[in-house]
Structure 1
Amino acid sequence: MKIQNIDAYQIYDSRGFPTLEVELELENGIKACGLVPSGASTGQFEALELRDGDMKRFRGKSVFKAIANVREEIAPALMGKSVFEQRANDELMIALDGTENKSRLGANAILGVSMAMAKAAAIARDQALFEYLGNGEGNLIPLNEIQILGGGAHAGWATDIQDFLVIAVGAKSYEETLEITHNIYHAAGELMKKLGKCVGIADEGGWWPDYKNNEEPFEVLLEAIKMAGYEPGRDVAISLDIAASDLYDGTNYSFKLEGKTFSPDEFYDLMAAWCNKYPIISIEDPFADTDFNNWKRFQKEFGSKVQIIGDDLFTTNIKRIEQGIEQELANSVLIKLNQIGSVSETLDAINVTQQAGWLPVVSARSGETEDAFICHLAVATNAGQLKVGSFARSERQVKWNENLRIQRKLGAKARFLGAELYRKILRLD
């Protein structure tokens, strides 16, 4: 099962921006493709997504340099290699790049090949991708974290907070998480339209709001949960993605919507007040990726009550995750394939997170494709959680639907823990 050919092409993500599709072919004719997502709100420590920067073509967003790197450097280096040597082949590409953040060849070039290689290997072994990635040990269907209201970089800064999401903590099955979310999503849309607060659909499928401040969305979300027939905090909890690095200038935090500036201490008090006031079970990037003091304080005060997720803080980087574990900065890590740039490194990042007793949350990007790789990744590693965006737009729904297919394939082996998985880090009653 040796690699015979690798090629790459420019395709388009869910925002209409160019991205990479890599096609890998084995000597027996098996073919597989890896489609690379792209983020809008990116952390400064992420691996580099290589774009051409030619403003005359696709406003500088084209990826022809990355494509050339696949064809001219990566493909020759991997030709004739066993497709089953995922780690060795990933390491070969990383060494070929030779930079700390994959900036020479591009993390998008390396990741596209890495994803296609894993898919081809699974097909060659007549396995589902989750079976191959998890060596047959993955069977946990993830609890969904689903956006209802978009904000920040995902919705033209309609709110300073990037995501208002729900987690169906009362659901007893994966299907029930989808039903609960369906009801809340559409109730929220009806309520916002009635109030004249809905502009449209944000990048990740959530409602694009029109609010005067950053507290108003909480009231609308709570009312939508009740309208849908659920009890906030018992059936459904709130999850937030603050994306605080986007609000921080190195000295203070700012809310453009309200024209307010906060010192780090004041911003800490605001995050604490929200977690005490509202049924929040999960909060992502409540502070900037360099504001370690607030991360430490927050973990100490809320770490037994709230899932505290590091995204920009960690960027799926193993060294940064290990640093966060050592310093007790959080209790959960957002996992994004393209932040680190290869399948092997992503698997390692999940393993390090789990070995520390922390919870991984496998995540999509705002610029997504029709590829459902992350669903298989979540199940393969028994990660337990999946964040894809909202309950609308086909690039989102393809992921939720793929989980249903994986569950059917697993049959009686499939497990669903729901909110029970939080007991690893939270003292839930």
Structure 2
Amino acid sequence: MSVLEYLDKHMLSRKIEDAVNAAVRAKTPDPILFISNHMRKSVPSVITKVKARQILDSRGFPTVEVDLHTHRGVFRASVPSASSPGMYETVDLRIYLRNGVSRAVKNVNDKISGALLGMDPTLQAQIDQAMIELDKAENKSDLGVNAILAVSIAACKAGAAEKEVPIYKHLADLAGKSGYSLPVPSFTLISGGKHAGNDLAIQEIMILPVGAANFEAALQIGSEIYHHLKALITERFGSLGCNVGENGAYCKFPFLFPNFSLREGLDLVKEAIEGTGYGEKVKIALGVAATEFCIG
């Protein structure tokens, strides 16, 4: 193939001329950078590579991390590992007892990657559907939901980058929403169940600052109640009662009083809320995790 034939085949002369003209019209102070970005935008971005690996999560357990490559760059995502999944939840694929995720990693690298190559990262629904159809099991035990979710999140980041918008705007667009609002943050104050190993059957007693004017105010409310609860626990159970579990919530004091009930825990949280003066702005929530103590 001659030089002219190569230039004509890829329309290089025309594309370069378009980029130069765009730089001149914009009167950009850095024409080389402008032309480079202009040329990159002219190339449709597709998924070119998906690579998974095993990492450790915040609790020291193995989990899946994915790098998804497009013409825009590399987009990374990882997923948490649930300590008490529900009986009807999809399956987090792990090697029995050792908790390794090598099978899920292999599924990403050997199966999911090939199915997604060449796809447009902005088409989130199509990407997710391709993975759903690849795993015929209803609970996603063939590929593992940890493999599927990590790839899905990485693809979402790539889609947002392709559209040059923040991820929240990309998600709103996918959902057909035009308005944006931050969700109400939840704060876990007391841990029980599998998160703590104490005598509280349920997993979490939480608070929701639903009456806060904005996210900053909600964060302040949660922090003040958390520390006021610490003072109450210290006063009644001593400093040892303030030890926290893996998610930062208080969990030690029920050990000191084996008959400590859920009602007593709720009363303690209610007292902490009222003691900070936020009674009208805060709701109490429960993370029950009923599968861990009640089947049927």
Q: Do they superpose with TM above 0.5?
A: yes
The answer to whether the aligner puts 1:68 opposite 2:106 as a matched pair is yes
The root-mean-square deviation of aligned C-alpha atoms, in Å, is 1.7
State the TM-score, normalized to the length of structure 2: 0.77
**By how many angstroms is 1:169 displaced?**
3.4
In terms of fraction of residues, the more strand-rich structure is 1
Match of 1:221 in 2: 269
For structure 1, the residue ranges without an aligned partner over 5 or more in a row are 54-58, 251-429
- The equivalences for 1:169-318 within 5 A come to 169-196=210-237, 198=241, 200-211=243-254, 212-214=259-261, 215-231=263-279, 234-250=280-296
The answer to whether the aligner puts 1:120 opposite 2:141 as a matched pair is no
**By how many angstroms is 1:14 displaced?**
1.8
Match of 2:131 in 1: 93
Partners of 1:6 and 1:24 within 8 A in 2: yes
The answer to whether the aligner puts 1:153 opposite 2:194 as a matched pair is yes
Q: Sequence identity of aligned pairs in percent? A: 35
Query: Hey, what's the Cα distance between the residues in 1 that align with 2:269 and 2:66?
Result: 40
**By how many angstroms is 1:155 displaced?**
1.0
Query: Hey, what's the Cα distance between the residues in 1 that align with 2:77 and 2:247?
Result: 21
**By how many angstroms is 1:126 displaced?**
0.8
Q: Deviations over 1:294-351 (max 9, x none)?
A: xxxxxxxxxxxxxxxxxxxxxxxxxxxxxxxxxxxxxxxxxxxxxxxxxxxxxxxxxx
The answer to whether the aligner puts 1:52 opposite 2:95 as a matched pair is yes
Query: Quick one: which amino acid aligns to residue 289 of structure 2?
Result: A
**By how many angstroms is 1:249 displaced?**
4.1
Q: Deviations over 1:61-83 (max 9, x none)?
A: 01011111111111112111221
Q: Deviations over 1:181-232 (max 9, x none)?
A: 110001111221232262521232211142332222123212222332333x
Worse-superposed segment, 191-200 or 117-126: 191-200
For structure 2, the residue ranges without an aligned partner over 5 or more in a row are 1-44
Secondary structure of the structure 1 residue equivalent to 2:130: helix
Q: Deviations over 1:73-107 (max 9, x none)?
A: 11112111221222122111121122111111111
Match of 1:25 in 2: 69
Structure with bigger RCO (C-alpha 8 Å, 6+ apart): 1
Query: Hey, what's the Cα distance between the residues in 2 that align with 1:222 and 1:119?
Result: 40
Secondary structure of the structure 2 residue equivalent to 1:239: strand
In terms of fraction of residues, the more helix-rich structure is 2
Query: Hey, what's the Cα distance between the residues in 2 that align with 1:31 and 1:96?
Result: 24
Match of 1:102 in 2: 140
The answer to whether the aligner puts 1:38 opposite 2:81 as a matched pair is yes
Partners of 2:63 and 2:101 within 8 A in 1: yes
Partners of 1:122 and 1:128 within 8 A in 2: yes
Query: Quick one: which amino acid aligns to residue 207 of structure 1?
Result: Y
Match of 1:129 among 167, 188, 198: 167
Secondary structure of the structure 2 residue equivalent to 1:208: coil
Match of 1:15 in 2: 59
Secondary structure of the structure 2 residue equivalent to 1:67: helix
Shift in alpha-carbon separation, 1:209–1:238, aligned structure 2, 3 A: farther
Partners of 2:61 and 2:99 within 8 A in 1: yes
Secondary structure of the structure 2 residue equivalent to 1:143: coil
The answer to whether the aligner puts 1:84 opposite 2:122 as a matched pair is yes
**By how many angstroms is 1:236 displaced?**
2.2
**By how many angstroms is 1:29 displaced?**
4.3
Secondary structure of the structure 2 residue equivalent to 1:24: strand
Secondary structure of the structure 1 residue equivalent to 2:186: strand
State the TM-score, normalized to the length of structure 1: 0.54
Shift in alpha-carbon separation, 1:10–1:138, aligned structure 2, 3 A: farther
Query: Hey, what's the Cα distance between the residues in 1 that align with 2:111 and 2:146?
Result: 14
**By how many angstroms is 1:37 displaced?**
1.4
The answer to whether the aligner puts 1:143 opposite 2:184 as a matched pair is yes
Query: Hey, what's the Cα distance between the residues in 1 that align with 2:141 and 2:284?
Result: 37
Deviation >4 Å, runs of 4+? none
Query: Quick one: which amino acid aligns to residue 243 of structure 1?
Result: A
Q: Deviations over 1:337-390 (max 9, x none)?
A: xxxxxxxxxxxxxxxxxxxxxxxxxxxxxxxxxxxxxxxxxxxxxxxxxxxxxx
